[in-house]
Amino acid sequence: MSKKPKFQLPTGMHDILPEEQKYFQKIYDVCETIANFYGFKKIDTPILEDTALYEKGTGLTTDVVQKQMFTLRTKGGDYLTLRPEFTPGVIRSYIEHGMQTWSQPVKLYSIGPVFRYEHPQAGRYRQFHQFNLEVIGESNAVIDAEVIQIFYNILQELKLKNLVVEINSIGDNQCRPYYKKLLMNYFKSREGALCADCRRRLKENPLRILDCKEEKCQREIRQAPQIIDHLCEECHHHFRGVLEFLDEIELPYRLNPYLVRGLDYYTKTAFEIFFETSQKTENKETFSRDALVGGGRYDGLIKLLGGEDTKAVGGAMGIERVIAAMKTKEVKVQKAVNPPVFLAQLGTMAKRKSLKLLEEFRRARIQVGESFGRDSLKAQLKMADRIGAKYTLLLGQKESLEGTIIIRDMITGKQDIVKLEKAVREIEKRLKR
């Protein structure tokens, strides 16, 4: 058995090895192209922010703040937290840079790592990546529908099928307090049937119970009062608007009256996009689902964080989960293209000239493979074969002295000698044929 390495990955974190990069690159390309099409501009905020920003923004009663933050104390005594999500940082930046004076709405997207101290399991990491969208300064329901549509389009563009959009309205501070009271009374009478976490949630925020995945809590949730029956006039009107826009663009969705989301700032629209799979064994079919995207409207957050009263909506997509879904569906992602030319050299003078020649190829934008550290011509030719080069350039001692180079056609085996300064031109010509 091989020896365990001295240093290993921190729990719940993962390396993205070269072979995986093509998935990330593909997803980034699709996300950025679509975000640009819909008029979003890119924003990068620091990975570390004041801990208090998340306590206030994400919310003190959320699992994210209570259990999942990576918080550190700096040498200067500040408390900073590795971002567990993008939204509070983006809103801090919106306020700090006076973006309310820009043309509204301000549409921003971000891509990068986020950190949550979770119990690691399949699809649940402690460092993962999100593609995040925020539309700040717009209250119209059409924007809620557009945000959902953008994420749906991205997933479709990535060739994912079996997507399910779930949507709900969780009201606002007009109607939610009354609903919370109803829920509180309902769950209080069933407190004994709830898990320990939900008994705590009952005291802090009974809405959170609706998000619990424990089977025994699920049994109670199925009978619980639904917020949809208790929305105020404005929230009801807004929700109807969102659904009508989704109908108009023929985006399929399911109403889920118990969808509440795990973050404190949401008002009105809440949505998630799931990827569903089924597995058939001899006598049973099992279903599983993964949340790829989550989001919603958050009309109170900007004011809560010290800005003006500004309405907003957004969402985030978990990139590792999208990659896992692509893999189960065997979505092909193009491999990196191998260089069409290999440059083999022999001897010190040839090495020097090769280094210079490589630069000329780079300027001409022709990819060239090489292995300058190797001295054996046989090993270099083997490598040229392995990468599937169309042409190999051979530069030995003799050619270096004569100012020439050999071009070998790797398919026919035919070799020609050309002047070194004509090598790039000649290869350009041959590749065009």
The Cα–Cα gap between 427 and 422 comes to 9
Q: Are 136 and 94 in contact (CB under 8 A)?
A: yes
Q: Residue 112 class from Cβ within 10 Å (0-12 exposed, 13-18 middle, 19+ buried)? A: middle
Judged by beta carbon, residue 246 or residue 259, the one nearer ligand HAM is 259
- Nearest residue to 137 via CA among 303, 317, 316: 303
State the minimum distance, in angstroms, from the CB of residue 305 to ligand HAM. Answer: 14
Judged by beta carbon, residue 81 or residue 132, the one nearer ligand HAM is 132
The token pair at 71 is 């918080």
State the minimum distance, in angstroms, from the CB of residue 292 to ligand HAM. Answer: 5
- Residue tagged 């000329």 (tokens): 360
State the minimum distance, in angstroms, from the CB of residue 321 to ligand HAM. Answer: 4
State the minimum distance, in angstroms, from the CB of residue 401 to ligand HAM. Answer: 59
Q: Interior CA angle at 429 toward 424 and 432, to 5°?
A: 120
Q: How far is CA 263 from the centre of its chain?
A: 18
The Cα–Cα gap between 361 and 260 comes to 56
State the minimum distance, in angstroms, from the CB of residue 261 to ligand HAM. Answer: 7
Judged by beta carbon, residue 118 or residue 426, the one nearer ligand HAM is 118
Judged by beta carbon, residue 317 or residue 389, the one nearer ligand HAM is 317
State the minimum distance, in angstroms, from the CB of residue 374 to ligand HAM. Answer: 41
Judged by beta carbon, residue 1 or residue 17, the one nearer ligand HAM is 17
Dihedral sign (CA 242, 243, 247, 250)? positive
- Which residues lie near ligand HAM (CB under 6 A)? 85-87, 116, 118, 123-125, 128, 130, 132, 134, 263, 291-296, 298, 314-316, 318, 320-321
- Nearest residue to 167 via CA among 267, 262, 257, 271: 271
Q: Helices 141-157 and 233-248 meet at what angle, rounded to 10?
A: 40
The CB-nearest residue to ligand HAM is: 318
Judged by beta carbon, residue 220 or residue 299, the one nearer ligand HAM is 299
